[in-house]
Structure 1
């Protein structure tokens, strides 16, 4: 058996560091996020030896990470975060109009805003990801809302693979879910899975407090009956209702967390699997930055046989603790069956390209030998647009302990089904920048919203160099196509929520609106709101950079079983695989495709 030339340290069932001499496993999985973690655990639970490589460490005992309510500090926590600096367009002047543009000052600190000090270096638009065991499921808001049935059925039509149809994908959700807010046996839900789901608190809905008064105005503005608010706040957002995708108004908000408020999913499932090491042969190797995929030599078709990595702490330049002088020793691990990449929408295309899989011209630019020319790798970057209506009440609000509810809209020009997923409450969320959010105190009220199924997905993830420690060049290219239609739909959402705000009377109102039309009792033109939305839209749900596609689509990277086209024993299982963003929040859909991939891979292993 092959052995390391150096000692590596692994996470074991007891959590104690142990020496490892094994470098050959049935499967090697790169990345422990919503795609990689469940897949690694499932393969190990089926009896296969699995090595899971994670570039970060384990922060499960860090309350910023473990407690779902701390998602704001989680995104800013230096022990877990990776900083990506992105663009929204190719227009430098448009970029400089983004209110939360980030700059590096001469003293090394960040400046965020429109008037940077002299000598500051423009970094870009902050897009935080995570480098920790569990991936981005350890810093997100935890919203577990399933996409429309069409989002699954479209993949089935695209590929001709009926297993992607919505009724089949629901089975994967039932398998993974451990529902804690419905009576056991409720249809369309699971109660024995590895992801606990809870409903955001609803006790406030029956109380005589300001936030309830405001929420009733939102119910009214969205076509509901305000007297039904207590029932609406508990409404199952993931019910298998045939009319679900057309249903609008207030719903409950499902969260992937336990009733104790702890994050549930990636990290917790891995730990549960490690707890029975004798039965489940899972090995987790932390602080191991994958640098390239290894291929067999002398075969007609490329065949993945392993992964090369750097061993050490904070070796990726996105880590705020990164030091360019740090050099990690090189290690290699080998897969007897398959290599599975699950680094997410930014890092999966990066590692494929560093390994020689991607657009040939780009690879040759950096002197990377071409293993497989796949022009779609790193292209088709998609993301939802996010906007918001934010204002300050005329007095401090009572009932501030409430949590958000989901609010769905179907705007007049929506092509098929509801297209806006909002959440309203006493909060301020205006996008991401170091140190976010702005806190406006006990008078703040906001309805942030996600515009689902945007018409444009022209973004890209390109290499900056052949150095695997460099972050890539990321341009989301917002509104590249379908600009007016998407902005019109977002405008309609803004109008609905502004109507609700403006209907709140004294002593709570009138609201002093901060966005998009600053001032009390202010109005502004449709054109002005659209311009604000275009310039200030933000996002946090990147997908599709290694997209599944039709057999005759040259831009497709994967087939319907997650296999990289033209390469043996190599798959990609994460949000980069979606042909488009699934619904409003991709985390639970990514859990679902991880379950699907597990089923596909285990079936292949038996064949």
Structure 2
């Protein structure tokens, strides 16, 4: 009998170890609450309706489902089972997929910089370079968030999706080069935002598998949550008759077959609709629903519910500029792991090695590839489809040695420069027109120049010497021709003397755009939309500037924070009554 029990014990251990070796990003969790929108009834009722299953929407839905019935509507599909999302080695593949079924939807700002918005459960956390780091304490104070709940909410997120990255040779050289360049002190590994050089977290586990905000739905109460995929919300429905202020009470959405559905709030004064559709999607949906600048709405024959001229204003995207450093020795494949947080307002990060696009053997420059729109060989207004195609053909013709190396980038803090968004059509699946006004404010340009100068110091440092060709000057890197080793940056006769022009001509995105529904302008400090009832916006569109070096940790935290806040407020109200 003892032998039988021993065999059962060994078998159980083997099963546990087998499944422990697979991340939730590799296998679809048993989300019994996740369905195609085609299965939805024509009309349904919930306590909370959340529009957007992205970086904020997933933790928000998981939290509210503990006590209430929640409908989470996501216009995209599931991230599970898609290797282009799951694997670090195929980073960029989803961003380069331009098909209607892609988890990424490309858009080009009026500035000419090519960008992307998420179209998948888990949002931008399914597409990004994975860096995980918290907002600085002063950001939390300015947002008037409760510090204790902020820390608890970050920890709630980190328990499932954050990891310590393995630092190898290239990232180590960047780290040590940052310190030689004076970005001190060295703060080791930490999620916290601290001046100096540090190793941050990542949402890629040790096997290189991505974890996303969708994984946070593991916290959900499965009996309290319904997730509908491929559900495109067209409009928020308002009651105005007999109301002192418009009252949000439902939404209309269409499934993948085009069939129209309606979902309404159950009777109850505290039930709400919450928009978490991102910095483009949230202001766009408000406008499509009649909340926005009256003149613009009338131009599209949209009935004005509330004339709110600040919807779509305050749009910003952190400008990013990078230098490719060809290496005489092989480098590891790495995304963002090390960061230098400077006092002058620029963040220094790095990525290295070749990636493989679309599972093919086509070599790629990962997060700096023209295949995903990151074209810096010509100024923004010249980044036409023809220029992109030519850059891709050129890249495919290069020898293997051209891909040996990595990029060191700088990202401008904030930024101070802002723009705006306008509707193009009444179709929520179409991209609106957005202008970010990169470097409109001189201080942003000064920060870029100082960031590039810091990158120069890193490249010239002793710590980085083995990854630098002997005798290759900074001017040569900035003006390198298309020979091998190669630098895919524009040639400027005066680039070494005019870094401000270099910044303007080589600007790219790091996908951290925000604004459009900012606190104090469109929503109050409880994220309730001004001028209407039972409607909130909770996502990065409410930010006045991007939190920390990379915002995803704070967006996930905000979803949990506000979910917990709403639950606590309702509990306190029920007790007092």
Q: What's the TM-score once normalised by structure 1's chain length?
A: 0.73
Select which of 249, 253, 258 maps to 1:309.
253
CA deviation string 1:199-236 (max 9, x = no partner): 2212x35xxxx8756764444223569xxxxxx6x922
Structure 1 residue 548: deviation in Å? Answer: 0.6
1:238 partnered with 2:191: yes
1:293 partnered with 2:236: yes
Select which of 409, 417, 441 maps to 1:448.
409
1:152 partnered with 2:152: no
Structure 1 residue 366: deviation in Å? Answer: 1.2
Select which of 108, 116, 120 maps to 1:86.
108
Structure 1 residue 176: deviation in Å? Answer: 2.5
Select which of 494, 499, 508 maps to 2:452.
494
The CA distance in 1 between the partners of 2:161 and 2:500, in whole Å, is 39
The answer (yes or no) to whether the contact 1:376–1:546 under 8 Å persists in 2 is: yes
CA deviation string 1:404-440 (max 9, x = no partner): 53231425xx3xxx53242254464675644456586
- What's the secondary structure of 2:314's corresponding residue? coil
Partner of 2:150: 169
Partner of 2:534: 569
Select which of 558, 563, 567 maps to 1:598.
563
Structure 1 residue 137: deviation in Å? Answer: 1.1
1:518 partnered with 2:462: no
1:367 partnered with 2:334: no
- What's the secondary structure of 2:94's corresponding residue? helix
1:475 partnered with 2:435: yes
Partner of 2:63: 42
The answer (yes or no) to whether the contact 1:211–1:398 under 8 Å persists in 2 is: no
Q: Which runs of 5+ in 2 are unaligned?
A: 1-29, 355-364, 375-394
Matches within 5 A, 1:330-349: 330-336=260-266, 337-349=271-283
Partner of 2:24: none
The answer (yes or no) to whether the contact 2:320–2:409 under 8 Å persists in 1 is: yes
Once the two structures are overlaid, the 10-residue window that deviates more, 465-474 or 58-67, is: 465-474
C-alpha RMSD over aligned residues: 3.0
Number of positions where the alignment pairs a residue of Structure 1 with one of Structure 2: 487
Matches within 5 A, 1:15-26: 19-21=39-41, 23-26=44-47
* Greater relative CO, 1 or 2 (CA 8 Å, sep 6+): 2
Q: Identify if the C-alpha distance between structure 1 residues 167 and 236 changes in structure 2 by more than 3 Å, giving closer, same or farther.
A: farther
Matches within 5 A, 1:376-387: 376-387=310-321
The answer (yes or no) to whether the contact 1:558–1:565 under 8 Å persists in 2 is: yes
CA deviation string 1:283-306 (max 9, x = no partner): 111111000001124122100111
1:61 partnered with 2:14: no
The answer (yes or no) to whether the contact 1:561–1:600 under 8 Å persists in 2 is: no
1:535 partnered with 2:505: yes
The CA distance in 1 between the partners of 2:530 and 2:174, in whole Å, is 52
Once the two structures are overlaid, the 10-residue window that deviates more, 468-477 or 518-527, is: 518-527
The CA distance in 2 between the partners of 1:595 and 1:357, in whole Å, is 26
Structure 1 residue 538: deviation in Å? Answer: 1.8
Q: Identify if the C-alpha distance between structure 1 residues 220 and 49 changes in structure 2 by more than 3 Å, giving closer, same or farther.
A: same
Once the two structures are overlaid, the 10-residue window that deviates more, 383-392 or 164-173, is: 164-173
Structure 1 residue 237: deviation in Å? Answer: 3.0
The CA distance in 2 between the partners of 1:579 and 1:214, in whole Å, is 30
The CA distance in 2 between the partners of 1:403 and 1:309, in whole Å, is 37
